[in-house]
């Protein structure tokens, strides 16, 4: 299936962004935003942010479990 980079978006939330599509009218409706490669620093910051979020979710889950254990123990 040929994929073409389509013209820049005019949608207000994505002005200037490019997207990929099948390029066929009435085709398979393939669509994906095309974002160029980020610099290494941005990639590393996003990994750190992802890891921090995962750790916070784990901590939150542990705190909720401890709180439930306390409520169950007292009740």
Please tell me the predicted confidence (pLDDT) of residue 73. Answer: 67
HSE-CB for 65 with a 13 A CA cutoff: 6
Evaluate whether 34 touches 5 at the Cβ level (below 8 Å).
Answer: yes
Kindly report the average pLDDT of the chain as a whole number: 79
What is the mean predicted confidence (pLDDT) over 5-17? 66
Residue 34: strand pairing partners: 18
Evaluate whether 14 touches 33 at the Cβ level (below 8 Å).
Answer: yes
What is the rounded (10 degree) CA torsion for 25, 28, 29, 32?
-120
| Per-residue confidence band for 38, with pLDDT thresholds at 50, 70 and 90 | confident
Kindly report, residue by residue over 39-74, the tens digit of the pLDDT.
Answer: 999 999 999 999 999 999 999 999 999 998 888 766
Quote the pTM value.
0.49
């Amino acid at each position: 299936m040929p994929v073409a980079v389509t013209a820049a978006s005019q949608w207000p939330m994505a002005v200037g962004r490019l997207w990929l599509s099948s390029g066929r009218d009435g085709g398979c409706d393939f669509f994906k935003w095309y974002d160029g490669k980020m610099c290494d620093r941005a990639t590393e910051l996003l990994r750190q942010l992802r890891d921090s979020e995962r750790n916070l979710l784990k901590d939150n889950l542990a705190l909720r479990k401890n709180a439930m254990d306390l409520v169950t123990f007292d009740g």
